[in-house]
Structure 1
Amino acid sequence: MASSPLKVWWHELNTWEPDEARHFYSATLGWDFQPTTLPDGTRYWVAHKDGRAVGGIFQLTEPDFEGIPSHWMTYLAVDDIAAAQKRAEQVGGEILRPAFRLPGVGRLSIVADTSGAVIGLIQPDDHTAELRTPVH
């Protein structure tokens, strides 16, 4: 049975300097940013290009992210995030952030592979999948 590759669903910059990042990507790529607040009160900026959401910026803060450098995070869409986490652990991966629900978006998780490389997983809400074309 052939399987299709996972879809890249979202790109997110996790940074200590969101103001500088917004300036850089606005000047470099022509992105506009719309601020929003996540359910836990954290600020988040959705990047748009030509009216289409293309990614986001998340501000790293201490003590939760102490020692973590600024980085881009890619989220891959999965059909069943609990099953994906279980398979990751079965082959030696590590769940860095267990699945959690982001209202209006879906269930997200952060995992590390056996080499320590980190990737985000997302099980998009049904309505989100209908409204948004995955980023390629």
Structure 2
Amino acid sequence: MANPFVHVELATDDLGKAKEFYQGLFDWKYVDMPQFNYTGIEVGEGTGGGMMKNPVPGVPSHWLPYVLVEDVRASTEKARSLGATIVKDVTEVPGYGWFSVLIDPTGAALGMWQAAQGM
């Protein structure tokens, strides 16, 4: 498995302003997913993403890239063994897959994504 970047996510303090800005800048289309408090970003070609209200008070708005992995549990444990700090352990997104978020030993944040079968 090549482990490509597959998703980029914006956590923002002003979701409305962010949606307006990026739609105006790039003509992105959005799919609201109220069951997840999430907005999907359809970019046409390339890696898509999503936006959500920043879940961590005091942390500035930021983009987080996700890398595709075959087994998110094993990859999360491997990252931990290599010195990463796991800030969001493996979590299911029902019907879509599983993710985790880590801080690497240099302080950079990265998400890992395992898609559900058929996705």
TM superposition score normalised by structure 2: 0.90
Instruction: Specify the alignment match of 2:20 in structure 1.
Output: 23
1:45 equivalent among 35, 39, 42: 39
Q: What letter is aligned with 1:22?
A: K
Instruction: Specify the alignment match of 1:58 in structure 2.
Output: 52
- How far did residue 32 of structure 1 move? 1.6
- How far did residue 104 of structure 1 move? 1.6
- How far did residue 5 of structure 1 move? 3.5
Instruction: Specify the alignment match of 1:134 in structure 2.
Output: none
Alignment of 1:1-136 (within 5 A): 5-39=2-36, 43-50=37-44, 54-61=48-55, 65-128=56-119
Deviates more, 1:48-57 or 1:18-27: 48-57
- How far did residue 53 of structure 1 move? 7.9
SS at match of 1:21: helix
SS at match of 1:82: helix
- Paired with 1:52 and 1:112, the residues of 2 have a C-alpha distance of 25
Pairwise CA RMSD: 1.9
Name which one, 1 or 2, has greater alpha-carbon Rg: 1
Runs of 4+ with deviation above 6 angstroms: none
- For structure 2, the residue ranges without an aligned partner over 5 or more in a row are none
Percent of pairs with identical residues: 26
SS at match of 2:118: helix
- For structure 1, the residue ranges without an aligned partner over 5 or more in a row are 129-136
